[in-house]
Amino acid sequence: MTTAHTTPLEPTGTTRGNAPLGVAMIGYAFMGKAHSNAWRNVASYFDVPAFEQKVLVGRDPAGVAEAATKYGWAETATDWRAVIDRDDIQIVDICAPGWMHAEIAIAALEAGKHVLLEKPLANTLAEAEAMTAAAQAARAQGVQSMVGFNYRRVPALALAKELIAEGRLGTVRHVRAAYLQDWLADETAPMTWRLKKETAGSGALGDIASHAIDQVLFLLGDQVTEVSGRTHTFTTHRPGASGLEEVTVDDAAWATLSLASGAIASVEVSRVATGQKNSLKLEVYGEKGSLLFDLENLNELGFLDATVPVREQGFRRILVNEPEHPYLEAWWPQGHIIGWEHTFTHEIRDFLLAIDSGTGPSPSFEDGLAVQRILDAVEESAAAKSSIVQLAGRLAGTPFKTAPSEGA
């Protein structure tokens, strides 16, 4: 980080006798900024293998240069293919738009690079399947891959998963998952690539229902067997470069999911929920207890233990900021809350540890594919008057196994 220093700095992280891992990142918009923050800081808090923020890749030379300087990357490049071929690159972090995911990820995996890929896995199911096959082939060669459902690394949600896995809720009966935003509430907000099916795949469904559905699978460690769905576009035309243009993706979506365990989850997402800024709300109702969560207060978990006497039952607001909580020992003293961006810091910590230990990181591309199949089924159902679509034979979700490094 400095031009002149007397004591050469170690590469970030702990080398453990190996050469540091070279990291290349592709894309430097919102997700690139967030991932860079994680790469820049992860080794200041966690004991991770040594790595170097080597190359930032983007199409615009000036833009990528400015971003590299701000975000701590040593070099820049404009051709991702050339970077993937470099011997000093062991990790490729893909923050490019969804329609580029398949091509880059498959190429990187085939080149033997560990891949961290932003969610959703892909814009289409066919792409997602091809990517998963590539990930499976690479894994057999010791090349790891991970899809970036970063909310699995919210400490409160990692704690939620622990409590469920420990049986504190008993049998889970139903889940309410909603992800509500309002950035499209203004009907005069302009057309963007996110509102076109050809570039975005879908709207709120792929963008935020993917997170909500991944949480259902993550928290319950379960699989979806049936889906009924519905999508809607409230504002069908928006001002574009050439006048009003048609919005070809959904503003909001609703679904019910049957899970193999017998649980049922409702999912509701919206980009027009005025006043809800980034509210991923999760409610899990079990026989012996329940959990509540809202991403706008991500340092908190609501927990009701129905096994204590009725007289003293109530939802507890656990401020998930104690050394006893997942990931928190690395941070600040109790009550000093952490920000949204550290979901990525934790994600990259776990990704690095998985590479180091040779364990497949979670969530895998298979997990990403499972979400994709469910999203696809929601669209299929929506096109068929919400009639239930079976996912049997193409089970969506994998029984959860905690990797040893995760959340510890």
- For the segment 189-208, give every residue that binds its own copies (CB under 8 A): none
Please say which residue, 113 or 325, places its beta carbon nearer to its own copies: 325
Structure tokens at 322: 């104690």
Say how far apart CA 258 and CA 266 lie, in whole Å. Answer: 9
Instruction: Quote the tokens at residue 373.
Output: 């199949």
Q: Which of residues 320-349 bind its own copies (CB under 8 A)?
A: 321-322, 324-325, 332-342
Per-residue tokens: 338? 């952490």
User: Could you give the CA distance from residue 356 to residue 287 in angstroms, rounded to a whole number?
Assistant: 39
Quick check: 34 binds its own copies (CB under 8 A)? yes
Q: Is 177 exposed, middle or buried (0-12, 13-18, 19+ CB in 10 A)?
A: buried
State the CB neighbour count (10 A cutoff) for residue 261.
14
Stretch that binds its own copies, among 134-142, 237-245, 307-315, 366-374 (CB under 8 A): 307-315
Q: Specify the residue, 74 or 395, whose C-beta has the smaller distance to its own copies.
A: 74
| Options 133-141, 198-206, 248-256, 351-359: segment touching its own copies (CB under 8 A) | 248-256
245 binds its own copies (CB under 8 A): no
Helices (H), 46-188: 61-71, 80-84, 98-110, 125-140, 155-165
- On the 0-12 / 13-18 / 19+ scale of CB atoms within 10 A, 309 is exposed
**Which of 100, 107, 136, 285 is close enough to bind its own copies by CB under 8 A?**
285
d(CA 26, CA 38): 15
Interacting positions 209-238 with its own copies (CB under 8 A): 228, 230, 232, 234
How many whole angstroms separate alpha carbon 118 and alpha carbon 373? 17
Nearer to its own copies, 96 or 263 (CB): 263
- Looking at 97-105, 215-223, 293-301, 356-364, which segment touches its own copies (CB under 8 A)? 293-301
For residues 24 and 84, what is the distance between their CA atoms, to the nearest angstrom?
8
Residues 58-97 that bind its own copies (CB under 8 A): 68-72, 74-76
Closer residue to its own copies (CB): 34 or 131: 34
Interface pick for its own copies out of 86, 196, 197, 288 (rule CB under 8 A): 288
Contact of 273 with 182, CB cutoff 8 Å: yes
Binding mask 131-170 for its own copies (x = CB under 8 A): ----------------------------x---x-----x-
Residue 106 binds to its own copies (criterion: CB under 8 A)? no
If one asks whether residue 305 binds its own copies (CB under 8 A), the answer comes out as yes
Nearest approach, Cβ of 348 to its own copies (angstroms)?
Answer: 15
How many CB atoms neighbour CB 63 within 10 A? Answer: 14
